[in-house]
Amino acid sequence: MQQETIAEINLSALRANYRHLASLAAPAGVIAAVKADAYGHGAVDVSRCLADEGCRMLAVVTLGEALALREAGITQDVLVMGVVDPGRAEQVLAADVVVALHGMAHAAECEAAARAAHGRMRCHIMADTGMHRLGMDFEKTVVLAGRLKDSDSAVVEGLMTHMSHSEQADLDHTELQLANLRRIVAELEARGLRPPMVHAANSATLMRCPDALYDAARPGITLYGINPCREYARDVPLRLAMTLSAPIALVKDVAPGEGVSYGHLWRATVPSRIAALPVGYHDGYTRALSNKGVARVEGRLAPVVGSVCMDTTLIDVTKIPAAHVGSRAMLIEPEADSPLSVYALAELLDTIPHEIVCRITGRARRVYVDEG
């Protein structure tokens, strides 16, 4: 009897999603985003699976994420999209990872640090085409590309940007950003400075804007089966890859009028059977689901009652006589139309599905299944 919370990851779903996205991107390549522990799915196992599928480049946000992949034996190119501390140049060079350059000063510091370490840092320039979060404007992007052309300590292998509105119905701002990128690319080409790889298309842009593909697409959340814009994106047959379940650890009777959990936010109105699950907000099952969430036990729905605790969640199994210690309670299901899907949970919590899966911490044991 499994007495632990389990996040089951369906690698067959991951493979199918990757193949669909790669076909959309073709002939451009795919840079697979495995940041944030592969959106909660486990970066090492996901990266191995994607490598099996022929993915040649992975994207993370921190150098620590990149080094963890290297330590696990992942040999694919790894792009660190966040701002890397130039003081860690020796680690960057030793791990042979690719660094994003976000500003003139940042680039100069990285170049100097690589020179001091007697190496040549592989770089992608981040252009800010309208998101105004990271990266450089048109002029600085072009100037930096020219400055680094003959550098002995930095080599520009790519140009990248990120879209701020591609998940929204109105694509006007996305088209503006793409026009800004085209202007940058045209100027770099005119000066003989265009890098080998230009990439701009995140998941939503890949599905909606074929003219944004350039040399590679950079899907993230869609790899894991989540469509960020279901209402108006191209029909891509994605499969949700994660389920979350926890066993019933204890069942107890609660009399009418008695309250449960912190603050007694729920009180029984009839004689009730309450089951305790060893999962809570430390595992990523958020406290915001107190008195709102629902689990599926023995094929039937059971409401979450009372406050979700750090380590324990209570559900009402009064109407599920088959529920017993050891019964598994499903908390996230892979069917898109389920009341326990990431879409339903995101709507309930007024957030996005991305956050639902990214919340799931390492305490929930990852179990990988592959139908093939």
- What is the structure's pLDDT at 231? 75
Residue where one domain finishes, among candidates 224, 253, 285: 224
231 within some domain: no
Predicted TM-score (pTM) above 0.85: yes
Residue where one domain finishes, among candidates 197, 224, 251: 224
Residue where one domain finishes, among candidates 224, 255, 274: 224
Which residues are the active-site residues? 35, 262
- What is the structure's pLDDT at 170? 87
- What is the structure's pLDDT at 246? 98
Among 32, 67, 82, 48, residue whose Cα is nearest residue 224: 32
332/287 same-domain check: yes
246/219 same-domain check: no
- What is the structure's pLDDT at 233? 62
Task: Specify the number of domains making up the chain.
Answer: 2
298/156 same-domain check: no
3 within some domain: no
CB atoms within 10 A of CB 251: 14
212 within some domain: yes
Q: How far apart are CA 311 and CA 120, in angstroms?
A: 47
106/198 same-domain check: yes
CATH of the domain at 301: 2.40.37.10
6 within some domain: no
The two structure tokens encoding residue 271: 């004689």
Structural domain harbouring 300: 242-369
| CA within 13 Å, CB half, 76 | 28
71/179 same-domain check: yes
201/301 same-domain check: no
Is residue 134 within 8 A of residue 182, CB to CB? The reply is: no
136/255 same-domain check: no
- What is the structure's pLDDT at 87? 95
Beta bridge partners of 296: 301, 330
51/193 same-domain check: yes
Q: How far apart are CA 95 and CA 60, in angstroms?
A: 14
264 within some domain: yes
236 within some domain: no
234 within some domain: no
Beta bridge partners of 158: 124, 197
142/266 same-domain check: no
72/175 same-domain check: yes
215/176 same-domain check: yes
197/280 same-domain check: no
235 within some domain: no
pLDDT truncated to tens, each residue of the chain (372 aa)? 457 999 999 999 999 999 999 999 999 999 999 999 999 999 999 999 999 999 999 999 999 999 999 999 999 999 999 999 999 999 999 999 999 999 999 999 999 999 999 999 999 999 999 999 999 999 999 999 999 999 999 999 999 999 988 888 888 999 999 999 999 999 999 999 999 999 999 999 999 888 899 999 999 999 999 999 877 666 778 999 999 999 999 999 999 999 999 999 999 999 999 999 999 999 999 999 999 999 999 999 999 999 999 999 999 999 999 999 999 999 999 999 999 999 999 999 999 999 999 999 989 999 999 986
- What is the structure's pLDDT at 234? 61
Is residue 33 within 8 A of residue 220, CB to CB? The reply is: yes
CATH of the domain at 52: 3.20.20.10
Is residue 239 within 8 A of residue 13, CB to CB? The reply is: yes
